[in-house]
Chains A and B, each alone.
Chain A
Amino acid sequence: MFYREAGQFKLSYNADAAIFPIRQDRIAIAAIALIAFVAIPLLATPYAFTGILIPFLILSLAAIGLNILTGYAGQLSLGSAAFMAVGAFASYNFMLRIPGMPILLAFIGGGVMAALVGILFGLPSLRIRGFYLAVATLAAQFFILWFLTKVGWITNYSASGVITAQPIVILGYEFNTPSAKYLLVLSIVTLMALAAKNMARGNVGRSWMAVRDMDVAAEVIGIRLMRAKLLAFAVSSFYCGVAGALFAYAYLGTVEPEAYNLDLSFRILFMVIIGGVGTVLGSFLGSAFITALPVLLSVTVRFLDSSIGLHIPESAISNLELMVFGGLIIFFLIVEPHGLARLWQIGKEKLRLWPFPH
């Protein structure tokens, strides 16, 4: 009843191709934007920012990156965290060694470095596919982390290997409060998500999906496989690189290799699978899910403890987390392989018909 498209005619191809063609969607997005940019900074607690919102946004960005590579271009990657690490360390070095470097430019620089490394490790994809490629990305994950730890110049010869990130100062204003960092991250992530959506619906997105679905046919209609695949690696790694830089500067406050381990790569992969492979919305949904899950779990455990006296030891909680993650992956793959994004879509379609059943 409320979600009808009746009366909304598109008078140009441009209108038809818009990201939010339905007016109700546009209103919803405007409302979300209002909440995100205005209401939350005013109402949320510092813990909400630092513990939930900022990591959610940053990991969404990394998930978008992985989605571009695995979801749109069909190249499985288990090394996203390593590219995040490249972005973080590159940004750090830009800030350290170039006096007066604007930090946003350093983030972009970090992304570009990550993109270059991504292209390098993406070269095997021209010959290798499927699981084999996944193993190649594992090589990237292990090698890059080893490299960043061993090469002293990168860490400025720090003895502990853990470096403090420089403060974020843009045009003289220092972003040191949780809400300020939140707004900065939100702006960057929103812009990059928009760019990703534009790419996805444009020629490059279609080329990627063509390569994913049937690369021989793609070649026959004129798509250069090498260019498409390497571009996917480059763009994906750029997104992961920027996310990695934000991870260090706006979340952890430190730049350390251990934060970008295999575990994080798997987490991001899970976000993509659960959220919905090949969608930008799915990246956000997946990230929200995975970020919120540990919090939900500990809340549930505490609730069970206080209400029915069921005491679960702390050590068991992290293992429970593993089981729930694993179980949910399997559950989603069986029930809805296209993830939360598809469930959302189905929900919207039901909403279009509401209150009628069909």
Chain B
Amino acid sequence: MSFFFEVLIGGLLSGVMYSLVALGFVLIYKASGVFNFAQGAMVFFAALTYVGLLEHGLSPWLAAPATLAIMVVLGLAIERVVLRPLVNQPQITLFMATIGLTFFLEGLAQIVWGANVRGLDLGLQDEPMQWLADSTGINVSKFDLVAAGVAAFMVTLLALFFNRTRIGRALRAVADDHQAALAVGIPLQQIWGIVWGVAGFVALVAGLLWGARNGVQYALTFVALKALPVLILGGFESIPGAIVGGLIIGASEKLAEVYLGPFVGGGIEGWFPYVLALLFLLVRPEGLFGEKIIRRI
């Protein structure tokens, strides 16, 4: 029984990490209606920039803010160069542009910083919490726990930001209707700049955590793909949805691998979240927290 809990908790915690990446998606979608496929590449870019700066001799206390600055600048540049020219195009066009952006960022990151796998040390060990293991026999990694804490903190921060601040309200207005937002004097370009900057920040946090966990390598971009089922479950516009979705995906993925995997030769993790999301979509196309899509004829 304790093994089950171990797998479950491990899955939940890794799910929280997925949620972090999904958060970046939700932010941008909520504020600009763009589905940013490049979020994963941004995570990768952030992680790579951080270790790259470390390798060049910067201390972590300098490298982190420097990376943040770079990510914000990157976000602003993306908004200016890619999104602004495409502002009135259908959603699918913007989506495909972000796919192109993904490839561009991946190539750029590896050219600038090199393509070898690196470790990322955040000073946290991936070892079980001793007292918990001793008392209940369940092994929960310290690292995972801290990561979950960080993610929870970010979610709360962002939720407050969106719902309680003036800028947050402006962001939601922009997401709903660009024209109307302009009509009431909301500075569109500034807002988008802010959004992409914040998304960059989220990408940095996700990048640091994921990089420390799995090493900084090209495969990091596939983590982002895993965020898609999270979004489907949680809805594209809901911050709490990203969390709940992440938890469900993380937990179910691990449980499926451990309990169903042996029957079919393993390797289920690669597709299970997607198939789960697919089945979910059939029942509830707009996700757990998403808004029901009503079409007027």
- Judge if B183 is at the interface, Cβ distance under 8 Å: no
Judging by beta carbons under 8 Å apart, are A143 and B106 in contact?
Answer: no
Considering only CB atoms, which chain A residue lies closest to B293 in the complex? Answer: A129
A214 to chain B, nearest CB (A): 10
Interface range, A side? 35 or more
Contact residues in B for A322 (Cβ distance below 8 Å) = 103-104, 106-107, 110
- Judge if A142 is at the interface, Cβ distance under 8 Å: yes
- Judge if B297 is at the interface, Cβ distance under 8 Å: yes
Contact residues in A for B110 (Cβ distance below 8 Å) = 319, 322
Judging by beta carbons under 8 Å apart, are A150 and B267 in contact?
Answer: yes
Judging by beta carbons under 8 Å apart, are A329 and B270 in contact?
Answer: no
- Judge if B275 is at the interface, Cβ distance under 8 Å: yes
Judging by beta carbons under 8 Å apart, are A135 and B277 in contact?
Answer: yes
Considering only CB atoms, which chain B residue lies closest to A143 in the complex? Answer: B271
Judging by beta carbons under 8 Å apart, are B101 and A138 in contact?
Answer: no
Q: Which of B66-74, B159-167, B224-232, B248-256 contacts A (4 or more CB under 8 A)?
A: B224-232
Judging by beta carbons under 8 Å apart, are A130 and B274 in contact?
Answer: no
Judging by beta carbons under 8 Å apart, are A132 and B285 in contact?
Answer: yes
Contact residues in A for B82 (Cβ distance below 8 Å) = 330, 334
The verdict on A130 contacting B91 (CB below 8 Å), with A146-B271, A333-B100 known, is: yes
Q: Which of B115, B228, B297 contacts A216 (CB 8 A)?
A: B297
- Judge if B223 is at the interface, Cβ distance under 8 Å: no
Residues 93-118 of chain B, each 1 if its beta carbon lies under 8 Å from chain A, else 0? 10111011111111110110001000
The verdict on A135 contacting B274 (CB below 8 Å), with A329-B97, A329-B99 known, is: yes
Considering only CB atoms, which chain B residue lies closest to A266 in the complex? Answer: B99
A69 to chain B, nearest CB (A): 13
A130 to B105, CA, bound (A): 24
Judging by beta carbons under 8 Å apart, are A139 and B278 in contact?
Answer: yes
Judging by beta carbons under 8 Å apart, are B100 and A329 in contact?
Answer: yes
Chain B facing A: main interface SS: helix
Q: Which of A135, A330, A333 contacts B104 (CB 8 A)?
A: A330
The verdict on A138 contacting B267 (CB below 8 Å), with A316-B111, A328-B100 known, is: no
Contact residues in A for B292 (Cβ distance below 8 Å) = none
- Judge if B35 is at the interface, Cβ distance under 8 Å: yes
Q: Which of A142, A150, A315 contacts B264 (CB 8 A)?
A: A150
- Judge if B56 is at the interface, Cβ distance under 8 Å: no
B residues at A contact (CB < 8 Å): 35, 81-82, 85-86, 89, 91-93, 95-97, 99-108, 110-111, 115, 225, 228-229, 232, 236, 264-265, 267-268, 270-271, 274-275, 277-278, 281-282, 285, 295, 297
- Judge if A25 is at the interface, Cβ distance under 8 Å: no
Contact residues in B for A134 (Cβ distance below 8 Å) = 95
Considering only CB atoms, which chain B residue lies closest to A274 in the complex? Answer: B100
Judging by beta carbons under 8 Å apart, are A329 and B96 in contact?
Answer: yes
A143 to chain B, nearest CB (A): 4
B287 to chain A, nearest CB (A): 9
Which 9 pairs show the lowest CB-CB distances between chains A and B? A329-B100, A326-B104, A322-B107, A326-B103, A139-B274, A323-B107, A142-B271, A319-B107, A143-B271
B131 to chain A, nearest CB (A): 39
Judging by beta carbons under 8 Å apart, are B274 and A337 in contact?
Answer: no
Residues 312-323 of chain A, each 1 if its beta carbon lies under 8 Å from chain B, else 0? 000110011111
A232 to B48, CA, bound (A): 41
